[in-house]
């Protein structure tokens, strides 16, 4: 109705891009939290409300719920990949690598819960995420995040550094303990990821590796 618009300068491309980036960041972060609470039953309306946006606005940035989740998982994959590669591709002994990896992983999960979502969902397969590229993500998860650890654990076992058990069992315990334990530590501090007390991380690692060592 209003023909107003004396400020005919509509908005520069750059300004728009900035808004866009900021909105996507915001949405993704909130979505991660909501997903953590409600899983696949996360509602677009929940996100919109928490973000103080209209439901339509979410759809302005994401075609649908699945796309949003895919984006979330993809980014988590990248983040975790970086972390994994960095540590696993060193020349340390398997045991050292695993310990460093575990410690870093726990920190990462607590600081960026959406990365935790990735692990929780593909390890605990709590629920099937009907993402179109779900298989692709799963494959990448296997390739870049899971197999490297499996390999390292196998190395550890064969080299006699780790307990001599079926490697499959060891892997399941390794990831299971991490994911299962961390869960309780997430969701509590609503955004104060910075001031996290990390004593528990050290304790978890200590105990877990005492058990795993040969």
Per CB under 7 A, residues contacting DNA are 1-2, 7-11, 15-16, 19-20, 23, 41-45, 53-57, 59-61, 63-66
The interface partner of residue 42, options being a second copy, DNA, none and the CB cut-off 5 to 8 Å by kind, is: DNA
Nearer to a second copy, 78 or 183 (CB): 183
Task: Kindly give the residue spans of alpha helices, DSSP state H, lying in 43-146.
Answer: 44-51, 55-61, 65-88, 94-111, 113-123, 134-140
Distance CA 70, CA 209 (A): 34
213 φ, ψ to 5°?
Answer: -65, 150
Nearer to a second copy, 59 or 209 (CB): 209
Pair 136, 192: CB distance under 8 Å: no
The interface partner of residue 180, options being DNA, a second copy, none and the CB cut-off 5 to 8 Å by kind, is: a second copy
Pair 120, 183: CB distance under 8 Å: yes
Residue 162: strand pairing partners: 213
* Min separation Cβ 79 and DNA, Å: 24
Nearer to a second copy, 89 or 130 (CB): 130
Total count of residues recorded for the chain: 214
Distance CA 143, CA 63 (A): 28
Nearer to a second copy, 110 or 170 (CB): 170
The interface partner of residue 132, options being a second copy, DNA, none and the CB cut-off 5 to 8 Å by kind, is: none
The interface partner of residue 211, options being a second copy, DNA, none and the CB cut-off 5 to 8 Å by kind, is: a second copy
* Min separation Cβ 48 and DNA, Å: 7
The two tokens of residue 121 are 């969902």
Q: Answer yes or no whether residue 147 interacts with a second copy by CB under 8 A.
A: no
Site for a second copy in 31-50 (CB under 8 A): 37-41
* Min separation Cβ 63 and a second copy, Å: 14
Pair 76, 117: CB distance under 8 Å: yes
Contacts of 71 (CB under 8 A, 6+ apart): 28, 62
Q: Answer yes or no whether residue 89 interacts with a second copy by CB under 8 A.
A: no
Nearer to DNA, 41 or 189 (CB): 41
Run of H or E residues at 199: helix 199-212
Nearer to a second copy, 6 or 190 (CB): 6
């Amino acid at each position: 109705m209003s023909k107003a618009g004396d400020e005919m300068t509509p908005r520069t491309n750059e300004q728009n891009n900035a808004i866009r980036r900021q909105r996507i960041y915001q949405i993704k972060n909130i979505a991660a939290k909501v997903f953590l609470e409600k899983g696949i039953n996360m509602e677009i309306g929940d996100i919109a409300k928490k973000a103080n946006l209209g439901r339509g606005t979410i759809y302005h940035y994401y075609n649908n719920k699945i796309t949003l989740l895919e984006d979330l998982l993809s980014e988590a994959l990248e983040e975790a990949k970086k972390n994994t590669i960095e540590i696993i591709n060193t020349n340390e002994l398997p045991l050292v690598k695993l310990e460093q990896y575990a410690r870093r992983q726990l920190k990462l999960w607590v600081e960026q819960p959406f990365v935790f979502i990735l692990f929780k969902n593909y390890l605990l397969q709590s629920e099937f995420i009907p993402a179109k590229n779900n298989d692709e993500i799963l494959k990448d998860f296997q390739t870049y995040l899971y197999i490297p650890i499996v390999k390292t654990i196998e190395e550890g076992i064969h080299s006699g550094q780790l307990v001599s058990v079926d490697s499959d069992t060891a892997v399941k315990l390794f990831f299971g303990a991490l994911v299962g334990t961390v869960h309780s530590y997430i969701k509590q501090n609503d955004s104060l990821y910075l001031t996290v007390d990390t004593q528990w991380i050290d304790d978890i690692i200590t105990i877990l590796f005492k058990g795993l060592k040969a």
